[in-house]
Structure 1
Amino acid sequence: MSLFHMALILGLLSAVGPFAIDMYLPAMPALAASLGVTETAAQLTLTSYFVAFGLAQLVYGPWSDQSGRKRPLYAGLAIFIVGSTMAALAPTIGALVAARAVQGIGGAVLMVVPRAVIRDSATGTDGTKMMAMVMLVISVSPMLAPLAGSGLIQLGDWRLIFWVLCGAAVVALLITGFALPETLAPAQRQKIHMGSLLASAKVLLTDPVFMGLTFIGGFGMASFFVFIASASFVYVDQFGLTPTGFSLAFAINAVGFFSASQAAGPLGERFGIVRLMRWGVMGFAGFAVALLALVLAGFVSLPIIVAGLFLANACLGLVIPTTMVMALDAHGRIAGLASSLGGTLQMVAGGVMIALTGLFFDGTALPMVAAIALCAVAALVLALMTLGRVSRAQMV
């Protein structure tokens, strides 16, 4: 199977998780009103998903290293189907928060296993190209999913969205069974022993390059999670957009991200991966801080918010696919564990940032923009500390 076809399959599988986040964003204000809860309480449905999504990756990575890549996919997708059904039937916000956690536990497999499959199949610039192709498919979801969600709430209510997600997971199960090959040969599989697992985890946690790259990408992703949790309320309540208008404004940011992510591979070959990442992080921090300065100065309009986030997220398109590949390059024999541990740290960081932002969120753009700028500055500091440590072998 060609790298293109493999990337297409992995992208389709990986898109289920983002759809579970993005499809119901236009419905969050209506969801909060339907269940009689505050905006902060509604945001907990995202926090529970992200935290469960992150922690569950610790299981799927080692499991995929031992059993191969496909069995964990079957189990995770089955759990996701159960969680989607629970969410569709949830009578209270507490039940919905719990259901979203179950969804996150299942959806986590779609973050870990595709990255490990990429590491099985390609490394270096080839791996970056493959990751970028996967990101292209995934990145369509922030454009299509909110529009699909806004269309669905015209046909029913927010519960219909979760029934559709249940159907998408069933399709993903069929793709896994009939289209995805097993990429980890039996001879390469690692049996799970607690001692060796802890030893491998120690290797990763004490590797400054792995940890630095993980959190550079992690703070980049956390900034986007903050945007996801806050944007529907800001765009609808402060700027008066309809759910469809919000979906279109939301999609603009995705265009910047996926367009830049597709350039990451060719630009990495021409200028070097490390240099490209340094430029990307500096651009991300520069645009995010500039946007915060404009908002603090009183220039708070929808075009300024959308343009500033478009530019910042375009820079993230150069950073996130690259950090994912580079963090795993030196840990091929424990790629599953490295992928799951890195993913856990990144998702928990995102969940924590959503929770912290929720403490200050007042329905306006300022808390959202300030949190994004904080993430960008943290990513820049880590990049300055980490990128000089990357070996010359990773720079080609």
Structure 2
Amino acid sequence: MTTLRAALVLGFLAAVGPFAIDMYLPGLPVIGADLGASVAEVQMTLTFYFVAFGLSQLFWGPLSDRFGRKPPIYVGLGIFALASAGCAMAPDVGTLTAFRALQGIGAAVVMVTPRAIIRDLHTGPEATRLMALVMLVISVSPMLAPLAGAGLMALGGWRVMFWALAGAVALSLTLTALALPETLPAERRVPIRLRTMVAGARILMSDATFMGLTFIGAFGFASFFVFIASASYVYTEQFGLSPVGFSLAFAVNALGFFGMSQLAAPITERFGLVPVIRAAVIGFAAFGCALTALVVAGAGTLPVIMAMLFCGNAFLGLVVPTTMVAALDPHGEIAGLASSLGGTLQMVTGGVILTLAGPFFDGTALPMVAAIAACGLLALVLALTVLPRIARARAMAV
């Protein structure tokens, strides 16, 4: 399987979850109005999706270690399709929230398995390069999904978006069946034993490096969750953008993240993993804090917010793939469990941050950028604590 082919197939599969988020972002205010729900209630459809998406990775990872990488994909995508149909027919926000959680359970499988497949195929810089290519394919989601959602909403309302997601599963299943080889041979599969899983989880959770890197990425993801949940209200209500205008603004902000992620592999090869992560986290935190200061000072115009978020997300695009790869590298024998545990911790952290910040969201930019800055500062504190330990360990190993 060539690197390009692997990136295209894995990227398309991994984009299912983000697409399910990004496509319906332009419709959040419309969904709230149609179902008679408040901003907080509509945002809970995102929170429940994130939490279910995160927690369910705990069992998809071990299942992929036991049965191979492909069978769980078939099951998870089937769940996702049924849940999408349920969302399309939801009569109230509570039902929509429940089906969104079920959607998250199904979508989680195509977050866990591509990471584990990458670890099956490569380690080190090669894994970082493939991870970056996968993220390049995923980058289509924040650029095209909101526009697709706005177009579908204009044609037939917000429910059509979920029917479209259900239909897209057919293409994902076809790709899995025809273009994705099984990368975990039978002799390397691990039986599902609760004792083994607990032991593996204990190893991972007692590994300060694994946990530190995972949570650096988690606070980065959390900042993106805050942006996703708030941007449609800020851009449409405070700045008066249309759903299409919001979609374009959202794409510009996301472009910084995914564009810079493509430079992660060559930059880490040249400068080293630890220096790159350190510099990227510092840059991410600095832009978040600077943007918050500008908004407080009354200088938070739409161009300023978009430009600063673009730069901050660019640094974040270096943080996420490097921390993912560095966290998984020492744990190849339990890559599925490590991927699922790491993904769970990151998604649940994002859901918790979003829940804590939710009561402060009022449709203006300040709560959004302040929460993003807080995530950057938390990631920075962790990086300054964990990265020196990694550097010392690598120096001793040489």
TM-score of the aligned structures, taking structure 2 as reference length: 0.98
| 8 Å Cα contact 1:68-1:182 kept in structure 2 | yes
Aligned length: 396
CA-CA distance at 1:121 after TM superposition: 0.4
Q: Deviations for 1:11-56, whole angstroms, at most 9, x for unmatched residues?
A: 0111111100000000001110001111111101100100000000
Deviations 1:37-76 (A, max 9, x none): 1111110110010000000000000111111100110110
- Tell me: CA distance 1:393–1:142, structure 2 relative to 1, closer, same or farther (3 Å): farther
Distance 1:27 1:153 in 2: 7
Over residues 209-245 of structure 1, what are the superposed CA-to-partner deviations in whole Å (9 max), with x where a residue is unaligned? 0000000001000000000000000000000000000
User: Which residue matches 1:168?
Assistant: 168
Question: C-alpha separation between the residues in 2 aligned to 1:5 and 1:17?
Answer: 20
Distance 1:35 1:394 in 2: 60
CA separation in 2, counterparts of 1:157 and 1:294? 37
Q: Tell whether 2:69 aligns with 1:69.
A: yes
- Residue correspondence of structure 1 range 278-317 to structure 2 within 5 A: 278-317=278-317
- Tell me if the contact between 2:25 and 2:232 (Cα under 8 Å) persists in the aligned partners: yes
Any residues of structure 2 matched to 1:356-395 within 5 Å, and which? 356-390=356-390, 391-392=393-394
Contact 1:326–1:394, Cα closer than 8 Å, also in 2: no
Q: Which residue of 2 aligns with 1:188?
A: 188
What is the match of residue 228 of structure 1?
228
Match of 1:32 in 2: 32
* 2:46 equivalent in structure 1: 46
Please, what TM-score do these two structures have when normalized by structure 1? 0.98
1:305 counterpart letter in structure 2: I
Q: Where does 1:235-274 land on structure 2 (aligned, <5 Å)?
A: 235-274=235-274
Residue in structure 1 matched with residue 207 of structure 2 by the alignment: 207
- Structure 1 Cα separation of the partners of residues 101 and 249 of structure 2: 28
How far did residue 387 of structure 1 move? 1.1
2:115 and 2:60 map into 1 onto residues whose CA distance is: 12
- The match for 2:148 is 148
The residue identity in structure 1 corresponding to 2:55 is L
For the residues of structure 1 that align with 2:353 and 2:229, how far apart are their CA atoms?
10
How far has the Cα of 1:298 moved from its partner? 1.4
Between the aligned partners of 2:314 and 2:149, the Cα distance in structure 1 is 24
Equivalent position amino acid for 1:361 in 2 = F
Q: Percent of counterpart pairs with the same letter?
A: 62
Distance change (3 Å), C-alpha of 1:129 and 1:393: farther
Decide whether the 8 Å contact of 1:200 with 1:334 is kept in 2. Answer: yes
Q: What SS does the corresponding residue of 2:139 show, helix, strand or coil?
A: helix
- SS where residue 331 of structure 1 aligns? helix
Give the match for residue 136 of structure 1: 136
In the TM superposition, 1:47-126 aligns within 5 A as 47-126=47-126
How far has the Cα of 1:145 moved from its partner?
A: 0.4
The aligned residue for residue 331 of structure 2 is 331
2:18 aligns to what?
A: 18
Letter matched to residue 13 of structure 1:
L
Q: CA distance change for structure 1 residues 369 and 200 in 2, over 3 Å: closer, same or farther?
A: same
Structure 2: runs of 5+ lacking an equivalent: none
- Equivalent pair of 2:11/2:134 in contact (CA under 8 Å): yes
- Deviation, 1:163, is 0.5
In structure 2, distance between residues paired with 1:372 and 1:152: 30
CA distance in 2, matches of 1:361, 1:241: 18
Q: What's the CA shift for 1:394?
A: 12
Secondary structure of the structure 2 residue equivalent to 1:330: helix
Cα distance in structure 1, aligned partners of 2:59 and 2:396: 28
CA–CA distance in structure 1, aligned partners of residues 270 and 84 of structure 2: 44
**Deviations for 1:96-144, whole angstroms, at most 9, x for unmatched residues?**
0001000000000011000000000011010000000000011121010
- The equivalent of 2:345 in structure 1 is 345
Q: Report which stretch shifted further, 279-288 or 381-390.
A: 381-390
Q: What is residue 4 of structure 1 aligned with on the other side?
A: 4
C-alpha distance after superposition, 1:229-268 (max 9, x if no partner): 0000000000000000000100011111111000111111
Shift of 1:187: 1.1
| CA offset digits 1:316-345 (Å, max 9, x no partner) | 111101111111000000000000000000
Residue 180 of structure 1 and its aligned partner are, at CA, apart by: 0.4
How many Å apart are 1:3 and its aligned residue? Answer: 1.6
Question: Which moved further from structure 2: 238-247 or 267-276?
Answer: 267-276
Change (3 A) 1:395 1:26: farther
Per-residue CA deviations over 1:266-317 (Å, capped at 9, x if unaligned) read 1111111111111110100000000011111111210111111100000011
Letter in 1 for 2:346: Q
Does the Cα contact within 8 Å between 1:272 and 1:395 map onto a contact in 2? Answer: no
| 8 Å Cα contact 1:274/1:395 also seen in 2 | no
Query: Is contact 1:140–1:254 with CA below 8 Å preserved after alignment?
Result: no
CA distance in 2, matches of 1:393, 1:6: 33
Distance 2:325 2:87 in 1: 34
Evaluate the alpha carbon distance shift between residue 168 and residue 309 of structure 1 in structure 2; reply closer, same or farther with a 3 A threshold.
Answer: same
2:304 and 2:195 mapped to 1: Cα distance? 53
